[in-house]
Amino acid sequence: MAKISVIGAGSWGTALALLLSNNGNDVTVWSILESEIEMLSKEREHKDKLPGVKLPESMKFTTDLKEAIEGKEVLVLAVPSPYTRSTSKSMSPYVAEGQIIVNVAKGVEETTLMTLSEIIEEEIPQAEVAVLSGPSHAEEVGRGIPTTIVVGTRKKKTAEYLQNLFMNDVFRVYTSPDVLGIELGGALKNVVALAAGIADGLGYGDNTKAALITRGITEIGRLGIAMGAKAETFSGLTGIGDLIVTCASMHSRNRRAGILIGKGYTMEEAMKEVKMVVEGVYSAKAAMGLAEKYHVQLPIIEQVNEVLFKNKPASEAVKELMLRDKKIEIFQDWEE
C-alpha cells in the first residue's frame, strides 16, 4: 500500500483517486476550493463532475497543501493545464527530494511553449516527474469501464512502479520512455477535437470526422517528430487512441465546445456553456508557436486558431482546408 495524494479534485482527479483507493492505497484528495472539499467529505460523491460515483469512507480530503504532500510516496497532479505552473510553485516548498509527481493534465503553455512536465520540473526541480495519458474519460474510469493508458517516465524502474500502482482488471497500463511524445499527443489532440466538434456543429458527417482524425494525427506526428519524439508514440494510445476518443465522444469537453462554435457560438460563449476548462483552446496558440519554431505545417490546427481567435467563419475554414494545394499522402518513388 502506498500513500498517495491527488492534487486537484476535478472529474479526472476524483476518478483516479477512486481507482487508486480501490487498488488498496491510502489516498488523500486536495482542492483549493473549500466548498468542493466539504461536498466530497460530506457526500462522498462529486455531485457536479462525477454524479453517481461513490467514494469510499477511507478516502481523505483536505485544502491544506502541506498536509497533502508531506510523507506521500506519489503525488498525482490533476489540476487543469492553465493552473499547472501556479500549483507547482505552491507545491514546491513541501516536495521532498525524489518524490514522484505524476502529471495527468494535457496541454502546452502558450507563453513559454513548454510541456506540462517541463513546467513541473522547472518549478519543482527536486521531484521526479512522470506523465499518465491515453484515451480515458473520467466518467468511464469512475464507473470501472475497461480503459487502457500509458505512463511515461525517464526511468524504467519508476515506470514499472507506477504501472503496478495504477493497473487493475479494468485499468490496463503500458509504459514508455517517450515523455515528450505522450505529452504532445495528449495536448494537441484537444485542438483537433475542437475541429471535429466544429465539423459536427456545421452538420458534416463521418467522412469529415475521419479526415480530421487521420490528417490531424499526421500533423501531431509531424510536429512531434521534429521536436524529437518517437514516431510510434503517435500511432499508440496517446496518439491515435486519444484522438479517436476525444473526437468521437460527447464526454469530450473539447468536442462539445467545438460543436457549439460550429453552430455559431463564439469561443468565449462555448467555454461558458461547457462549464469546464476546454484545454484545446489554451493549447491551440501554443501549437502554432511550436509549428513556427520547428518549421512545420499544421493546416488543421492553424484553421482552428483562425476560428477561435480571429472570428473566421467555421465553414470558410473548412473550405480553405479542402482547397489547399494538392498534396501527396505517401512519399516514395513512383513506377515509371
| Residue percentage of the chain with pLDDT more than 70 | 100
| Cβ burial, residue 216 (10 Å; 0-12/13-18/19+) | buried
300-317 confidence digits (pLDDT tens)? 999 999 999 998 998 999
86-115 confidence digits (pLDDT tens)? 999 999 999 999 999 999 999 999 999 999
User: How long, in residues, is the chain?
Assistant: 336
165-203 confidence digits (pLDDT tens)? 999 999 999 999 999 999 999 999 999 999 999 999 999
Q: Which domains does the chain have, with CATH numbers?
A: 3-177 (3.40.50.720), 180-322 (1.10.1040.10)
> Which residue's entry shows cell 507547482?
88
Q: How far is CA 8 from CA 42, 74, 167, 283, in A?
A: 18, 14, 21, 20
Cell of 17: 483517486
Q: Confidence band (pLDDT; 50, 70, 90) for 223? A: very high
Q: Which helix (H) or strand (E) holds 220?
A: helix 206-227
Q: Whole-prediction pTM value?
A: 0.93
Looking at residue 318, its pLDDT comes to: 85
> Which residue's entry shows cell 491510502?
26
Catalytic residue (one of 49, 60, 72, 189): 189
Query: Residue 250: is its pLDDT beyond 90?
Result: no
Instruction: Give the separation between CA 191 and CA 24, rounded to whole angstroms.
Output: 36
Q: Confidence band (pLDDT; 50, 70, 90) for 332? A: confident
What angle do the packed helices 116-123 and 84-91 form, to 10 degrees? 30
Q: What is the mean pLDDT of the chain?
A: 94
Is residue 89 among the annotated active site residues?
A: no
| Sheet with 171-176, edge to edge strand ranges | 60-62, 26-30, 3-7, 74-77, 100-103, 128-133, 147-152, 171-176
